[in-house]
Amino acid sequence: MFDFTIITNWLHTLLVGVLPEWAAVLTESVLVAVVIISLAAIFAMVLIYMERKVCAFFQCRLGPNRVGKWGLLQLFADVFKMLQKEIIKMRQTDRFLHDLAPFFVITASMITIACLPWNKGAQILDFNIGVFFFLAVSSVSVVGILLAGWGSNSKYPLIGAMRSGAQIISYEISIGITMLTVICLTGTMQISEIVEQQYTEGWNIFRGHLPMVVAFLIYMIAGNAECNRGPFDLPESESELTAGYHTEYSGMHFGYFYLAEYMNLFISAGLATTVFLGGWAPLHIAGLDGFNHAMDYIPGVVWFVGKALFVVFLFMWERWTLPRLRIDHILTLEWKYLMPISLVNLVVMALVVAFGIHF
């Protein structure tokens, strides 16, 4: 596989050669910022377009098809429309908290998108506590959502934020336990090492067979709930709460929540790809050397994005197939079914690893 660190090292030596140390680091940080923003913007837009098209096809409609060929320019039109809309200052809101909320939501997404491994060596943040760090940061966005609901001082946002808070923190436990299941198998929390391991030994979902498949299924349910989507979209259920926690946000302020929602969708798909489906690791079948060599020629980034978009499609499938649940059903599903199942699954995985009955 092509190692992306060649490029970053070359750039680093080049910059250190012409600039003093601090200026080189500053330049690199600015480059990183540009990369993060472009990734966020590109994937949020791709996902919004994809969501509209996928949902349209699920409902036997055409979806956006007026602006540009196949409606491809619809998104740019939407972004510019949103930029031109007035940000209304409401009389009753707590202005400080109201304006602070988007910062939390967007910053959490920006940091977590930096944790995804795009290719061998192409990962911005690679801590040795990778997965743990990822979970810790991604839960910051719930603070933003609660602030948005509380700061709006209006009833719909408050109800939406409370539901969203209860739902996100509940499903976070399942996500945490499924990640524990994965870490039991990999024995490391560093994201790059997890993927390297899957490159040499096969994807985790094949290595960990039954418990890993169960963990993947639980992750697919809990991930949808974490993004406030799918059958779990009652924090912003439009038929009862208008728009949930971002009812009182207008113009670009609303745009941040929209952007963050789709970024989070891509990020949860990316995490599923990284820990279960091998990240940038190509599909290898033991014994078929020719096939494996051919697969190695496809760049890692293509594998990663392809798999992530496939998982995104699964998330969308889930969303547009199932009807919305009620809040007590959601909490019952998590606390009485998913969490006990994932705890048992964790124990099974621990036993599987202890007795060495994995591939």
Partner 1 sequence: MNFTLFVAAVLTGVGFVAIVTLLARLLAPRSFNAQKEEPYECGVPTRGGSWMQFRVGYYLFAILFLMFDVETMFLFPWAVVMRTMGPAGLTAVLFFLAILVLGLAYAWRKGALRWR
Identity of the residue, 106 or 271, whose beta carbon is nearer to partner 1 in the bound complex: 106
Half-sphere exposure of 86 (CA within 13 A, CB side): 3
Sign of CA dihedral 253, 255, 259, 260: positive
Contact 101/148 with Cβ under 8 angstroms?
Answer: yes
Closest CB 33 distance from partner 1, rounded Å: 4
C-alpha triplet 179, 181, 186: angle, nearest 5°: 90
Q: Which is nearer to partner 1, 165 or 278 (CB)?
A: 165
Q: Which is nearer to partner 1, 57 or 80 (CB)?
A: 80
Residue 41 has which token pair?
């913007």
| Integer angstrom CA distances of residue 133 from 61, 181, 220, 264, 280 | 41, 16, 20, 15, 20
What is the smallest separation between the CB atom of 82 and partner 1, expressed in angstroms?
8
| CB count in 10 Å sphere of residue 57 | 12
- Output the smallest distance, CB 55 to partner 1, in A: 25
User: In degrees rounded to 5, what are phi and psi of residue 87?
Assistant: -90, 105
Question: Closest distance between partner 1 and the C-beta of residue 251, in Å?
Answer: 6
The shares of helix, strand and coil residues in the chain, as percent rounded to the nearest 5, are 75, 0, 25
Q: Which is nearer to partner 1, 120 or 358 (CB)?
A: 358
The nearest distance, CB 169 to partner 1, in angstroms, is 4
The distance of closest approach from Cβ of residue 259 to partner 1 in the complex, given in angstroms and rounded to an integer, is 9
